[in-house]
Each structure stands twice: as structure tokens, then as C-alpha cells.
């Protein structure tokens, strides 16, 4: 993909590839080893943790879930093309955490009150709490339980009904739509406000989603805005002004994401050295999140 666009080589899992002479990507032993708290065990937080540990820091990772991987673990299970490859990312971080003696505290309560009592034990803290779909960009649902978050579906915490409308035709929305149709036989419709779907997908992968959507017979409404969510469905308006009610048992919010920064702002006055990384700074793709974690781990 990058080669076709005349861009330098990079590697998702090896951030130093293509950056061999970039000072931000060089690892040096820590001059003064620190005790570092990383909050969030997604790809960015784990990459930061293992990079810092490789330099000699003592790292503890706090995660509210039952396992590491963050939202990647859930979405990986729904990816029709790269499920095993994506799950291997989680397996890699689990192996490296063990090899580098990184302490993993799973099922931890992640809130300012819980963190406050232990911050004095650490020299630095990293907030890698990821991002969430921006529900504020959607009309408030008038039917309780109709609108659900894509991350909840991906993680298996919400089981959608038979008729599903996915709001958002980016990578997250398409991945869920394809899996729900192909593997579970759901009736799925995708609604996207932009002119084209897969706007956040690498060029070399766009054709896969286009082909799957066509092959699976998933209706896609582009240049379409959501007017209302409720009364058994979603009312949308097309670019020509025509309105349609899409019947739905479940509406999945899979559009633009916003960073989870509340914890970061709460901790700002509690610890002298505080950092954010990954989607908790700016929501991006997997490669950018991992590289962000690496760069932070290299300089912290």
C-alpha cells in the first residue's frame, strides 16, 4: 500500500523499520530507571510498556477487562480476512509481558479514586485508555436499548437482533457488518454520511470490503444522514432530501470516535509525570497506535 503511494516502508509490529536513523525510534538504556504505571492494555499501552521495560524501567499495566488487547481483541474476532493475524498481536504482547516481567493487573478498577491511592508508588503514569464512538454526533434514541456501541458488540457484551443498521461505513462498521451477515445471518444495512465507504481503510484493503459488501448483498446508503433513532428503526435522509425509515432491532453506532481523556485530566494534578498515548490522544489506526506507544516508551 505504501509502496504504491511512493511512501517509505513501515511495519505495524516493528516500529523501527524505516526509522533506523530517526532519533525518536532509537532505544537507549534508561539513565534513571523508573516505576511506571500504564493504564490500559490495548496495543498502544502494551507497546509502550514493553518498550519501557526493554530500557530497564519497572512497568505495571492496569486493565479493567479480563485480558489484554483492548478493543482490538473484539474486532479481531469479527475480521473476515485477518482474524488470526490480529489475534497474534494480542498473543505477542502477552508473551512479551511475561518475558519482560511486566506486571499485569487485570480486572482493575480504573477511576481517579482508585488510582489516587497508589499513584505515590510510581514515578510516571501513562494513560492509554483508547477511544469510543462519539454518540453525541447522533440523535438521542427514543427507544431504550435500540442504539448500542460497536465496541460492546465486538466484545460480545451485546448480542444484536436479526435486523441490524450499522451507523458508520469505516473499518469498524464494515468489519462488524460483514461478520454479522456472513457468520450470523443477520439482515444488515450500513449508513455512511460520506460519499464513499472505507474512508479509513488502507488503499490496498479497500477492495476487499467493497467486494465483500457486494458479495454478501449488504445494502449501503452513502451520503446519508441520520434524522432519528427509535420507533423500531432509523429514519435517514439522502442527499436528494428523500427520507427512509430503516426497520431495525439493533442500531450499532460505529462512526467517528473520540478519545477517552477523562481519566487523563483527572490525574493531571495527582502525579508529576503523566503521558497519554494511542487513541487516548487521537483516534487512529492500529499502526499509528502501536508506533505512538513505542515512541513514548523510548523516551519516557
Find the DSSP H helices in the chain.
43-54, 70-78, 83-99, 112-116, 150-154, 171-182, 203-216, 262-267, 286-299
For the cut 90, the answer to whether the pLDDT of residue 80 exceeds it is: no
172 and 247, same structural domain? Answer: yes
235 and 177, same structural domain? Answer: yes
pLDDT at 248: 98
For the cut 70, the answer to whether the pLDDT of residue 4 exceeds it is: no
Instruction: Identify whether 11 is part of a domain.
Output: no
Domain count of the fold of the chain: 2
What whole-number distance in Å separates Cα of residue 119 and Cα of residue 112? 10
231 and 283, same structural domain? Answer: no
Per-residue pLDDT band for 109 (boundaries 50, 70, 90) equals: confident
114 and 180, same structural domain? Answer: no
The 3-state DSSP class for residue 289 equals helix
For the cut 90, the answer to whether the pLDDT of residue 161 exceeds it is: yes
- Can you say how many angstroms the Cα of residue 226 is from the centroid of all Cα atoms in its chain? 23
CATH of the domain at 98: 3.40.50.720
Instruction: Identify whether 9 is part of a domain.
Output: no
pLDDT tens digits, 221-277: 999 999 999 999 999 999 999 999 999 999 999 999 999 999 999 999 899 999 999
What whole-number distance in Å separates Cα of residue 255 and Cα of residue 134? 7
168 and 280, same structural domain? Answer: no
Q: What is the mean pLDDT of the chain?
A: 94
122 and 264, same structural domain? Answer: yes
> Quick one: cell of 268?
493531571
Segment holding 190, helix H or strand E = strand 187-191
Per-residue pLDDT band for 83 (boundaries 50, 70, 90) equals: confident
pLDDT at 1: 59
C-alpha separations of 150 from 78, 121, 135 in Å: 11, 36, 11
270 and 123, same structural domain? Answer: yes
Instruction: Identify whether 58 is part of a domain.
Output: yes
- Can you say how many angstroms the Cα of residue 27 is from the centroid of all Cα atoms in its chain? 26
200 and 216, same structural domain? Answer: yes
Q: Which of 190, 247, 242 is nearest to 221 (CA)?
A: 190
Q: Which of 126, 117, 118, 128 is nearest to 273 (CA)?
A: 126
Please state which of the ranges 1-5, 65-69, 112-116 shows the lowest mean pLDDT.
1-5
For the cut 90, the answer to whether the pLDDT of residue 8 exceeds it is: no
Instruction: Identify whether 62 is part of a domain.
Output: yes
C-alpha separations of 70 from 141, 213, 279, 286 in Å: 27, 26, 11, 11
289 and 212, same structural domain? Answer: no
Which domain does 33 fall in, by range?
Answer: 23-130+260-299
What whole-number distance in Å separates Cα of residue 79 and Cα of residue 129? 22
117 and 186, same structural domain? Answer: no
pLDDT at 289: 97
Per-residue pLDDT band for 2 (boundaries 50, 70, 90) equals: low
> In the beta sheet, which residues pair with residue 131?
259
For the question of whether the overall pTM of this predicted structure is more than 0.75, the answer is yes
For the cut 80, the answer to whether the pLDDT of residue 6 exceeds it is: no
Percentage of residues of the chain with pLDDT beyond 90: 86
Instruction: Identify whether 8 is part of a domain.
Output: no
Instruction: Identify whether 103 is part of a domain.
Output: yes
158 and 236, same structural domain? Answer: yes
51 and 143, same structural domain? Answer: no
Instruction: Identify whether 10 is part of a domain.
Output: no
Amino acid at each position: 500500500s505504501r509502496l504504491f503511494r511512493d511512501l517509505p516502508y513501515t511495519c505495524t509490529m516493528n516500529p523501527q523499520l524505516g526509522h533506523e536513523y530517526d532519533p525518536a525510534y532509537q532505544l537507549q538504556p534508561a539513565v534513571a530507571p523508573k516505576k511506571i504505571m500504564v493504564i490500559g492494555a490495548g496495543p498502544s499501552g502494551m507497546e509502550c510498556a514493553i518498550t519501557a521495560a526493554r530500557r530497564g524501567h519497572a512497568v505495571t499495566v492496569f486493565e479493567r477487562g479480563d485480558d489484554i488487547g483492548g478493543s482490538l481483541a473484539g474486532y479481531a474476532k469479527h475480521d473476515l480476512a485477518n482474524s488470526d493475524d490480529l489475534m497474534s498481536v494480542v498473543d505477542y504482547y502477552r508473551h512479551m509481558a511475561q518475558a519482560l516481567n511486566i506486571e499485569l493487573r487485570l480486572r482493575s478498577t480504573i477511576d481517579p479514586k482508585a488510582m489516587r491511592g497508589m499513584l505515590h508508588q510510581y514515578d510516571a503514569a501513562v494513560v492509554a485508555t483508547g477511544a469510543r464512538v462519539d454518540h453525541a454526533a447522533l440523535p438521542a434514541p427514543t427507544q431504550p436499548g435500540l442504539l448500542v456501541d460497536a465496541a460492546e458488540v465486538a466484545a460480545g457484551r451485546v448480542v444484536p437482533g436479526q435486523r441490524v443498521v450499522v451507523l458508520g461505513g469505516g473499518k469498524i462498521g464494515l468489519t462488524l457488518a460483514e461478520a454479522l451477515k456472513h457468520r450470523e445471518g443477520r439482515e444488515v444495512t450500513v449508513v455512511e454520511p460520506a460519499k464513499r465507504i472505507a474512508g479509513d481503510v488502507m488503499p490496498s484493503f479497500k477492495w476487499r470490503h467493497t467486494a465483500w459488501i457486494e458479495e454478501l448483498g449488504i445494502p449501503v446508503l452513502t451520503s446519508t444522514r441520520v434524522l432519528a433513532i427509535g420507533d423500531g428503526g432509523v429514519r435517514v435522509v439522502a442527499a436528494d432530501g428523500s427520507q427512509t425509515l430503516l426497520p431495525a432491532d439493533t442500531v450499532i453506532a460505529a462512526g467517528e470516535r473520540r478519545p477517552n481523556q477523562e481519566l487523563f485530566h483527572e490525574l493531571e494534578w495527582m502525579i508529576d509525570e503523566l503521558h497519554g498515548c494511542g487513541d487516548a490522544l487521537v483516534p487512529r489506526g492500529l499502526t499509528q497506535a502501536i508506533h505512538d506507544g513505542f515512541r513514548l516508551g523510548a523516551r519516557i
